[in-house]
Amino acid sequence: MPNVPASRNCTLTRPAPVILSVSRSTDIPAFYPEWLVNRLREGYLTWKNPFNQATLRIDLTHIAGAVFWSKNPQPLMLYLDEIAARGIDFYFQFTVNDYEDVGFEPRVPALAQRLDTFRELSERLGKNRVVWRFDPICISDAISPQSILDRLERLGETLGPLTNRLVISFVDVNAYKKVQQNIKRIDEDLLREPTEKEQDYIANGIAKIARKYSLRVSACGESRSFDAYGIPKAHCVDGELFAEICSPHNIALQQYLGINKAQGTLLPIKAWDLKVKKDKGQRDACGCIESKDIGMYNTCRHMCVYCYANHSAKAVEKNFALHDPTAESIIPF
């Protein structure tokens, strides 16, 4: 395996991760796919912890599973065969919102293009490996709770036959100063969090839409319970889903999950049978299992106004100009 130069002064992560989260912090499939594949080829990457600024070397030689989070995975699709050939089982958390008319997501591709990409991914990989996210749900003077349901219903007509799962979340403005600042730069009345009453109305409506399209709907990172509407907590990095898609030859992932495959068929298993742990690095409300997220803040060029991972467009463009797809990290540090 290649060695990181001593000048990097990196600390080796132990143990080496088995599952990659790619990524909650930036859209690597959309903007950094070549870099990702180069790092898999080299067997390591370097990453800076955004909280304590520690620089780590992440060993990628044991990766057996990956979750790709994206609003535009089209650029990564060129490399999917190579990633699969490396023995990595993966699925997509594909966010498809309908906010074109209100400008919440100014740089994402046109909705029609995203729907085409979703269809292409589903037909290529199978609908169990493409999860639809309507995330986050935002309310404004222009978007009422009923408007959210109308938008989701329209999307469901196209996406319902292409996936088994829908993940939702409600926008969190009050918890993030960066989100508040991003909104204020444009218009402080641009969007807001739904009230609890509005959340309940939306959750009830979404549950009906999900049943109509035979979707398993869950709520990501919500401290409130929506079990009353048949919407459990989401597990976006999901051990049960990994068990479902795990290839018979992917022994490393089977061992990590604590399962076995017999003659190419997954033995009957329940979520609570999986021998995996909750990711302690995530919020208490998060249901994800342990993985290593390799994203970096201030690197996503979608510039969604509700994003907690970007300080400003200026910071993002400055960093993007420094990006080298052959480098060890997304941006130098």
Is the pLDDT reported for residue 4 higher than 50? no
CA–CA gap between residue 71 and residue 24 (Å, rounded): 11
Cis omega before residue 140 (within 30°)? no
Amino acid 261: pLDDT: 56
Residue 332 lies in a domain: no
229-254 pLDDT, tens digit per residue, is 999 999 999 999 999 999 999 999 99
Tokens of 291: 């993985």
Amino acid 262: pLDDT: 52
Q: Which class for 33: exposed (0-12), middle (13-18), buried (19 or more C-beta within 10 A)?
A: buried
Residue 329 lies in a domain: no
What percent of the chain lies above the pLDDT cut of 70? 92
Q: Which class for 140: exposed (0-12), middle (13-18), buried (19 or more C-beta within 10 A)?
A: middle
- Buried residues in 108-133 as b, exposed as e (16+ CB within 10 A): bbebeebbebbeebbeebebebbbbb
Binning pLDDT at 50, 70 and 90, where does residue 1 land? very low
pTM of the model: 0.92
Least confident of 11-25, 62-76, 248-262: 248-262
For residue 194, give its domain range.
6-322
Amino acid 2: pLDDT: 44
Residue 330 lies in a domain: no
Binning pLDDT at 50, 70 and 90, where does residue 319 land? very high
Tokens of 161: 């036959």
CA–CA gap between residue 272 and residue 230 (Å, rounded): 19
What percent of the chain lies above the pLDDT cut of 90? 77
117-162 pLDDT, tens digit per residue, is 999 999 999 999 999 999 999 999 999 999 999 999 999 999 999 9
Tokens of 226: 């929506």
Helices 111-125 and 145-159: crossing angle in degrees, nearest 10, is 40
Question: Residue 189 is which amino acid?
Answer: D
As a whole number, mean pLDDT of residues 247-267 equals 76
CB 68 within 8 A of CB 93: yes
Q: Which class for 311: exposed (0-12), middle (13-18), buried (19 or more C-beta within 10 A)?
A: middle
Residue 18 lies in a domain: yes
Residue 52 lies in a domain: yes
124 dihedral zone (left: phi>0; alpha: psi -120 to 50; beta) = alpha
Nearest to 95 by CA among 210, 278, 220, 280: 220
Residue 107 lies in a domain: yes
Instruction: Please tell me what DSSP assigns to residue 164.
Output: S
Is the pLDDT reported for residue 64 higher than 80? yes
Least confident of 37-46, 78-87, 291-300, 308-317: 308-317
Half-sphere exposure in the Cβ direction for 147 (13 Å, CA): 14
Q: How many CB atoms lie within 10 A of CB 318?
A: 12
Tell me how many domains the chain contains: 1
CB 29 within 8 A of CB 70: yes
User: In whole numbers, what is the pLDDT of the chain averaged over residues?
Assistant: 91
Residue 1 lies in a domain: no
Residue 63 lies in a domain: yes
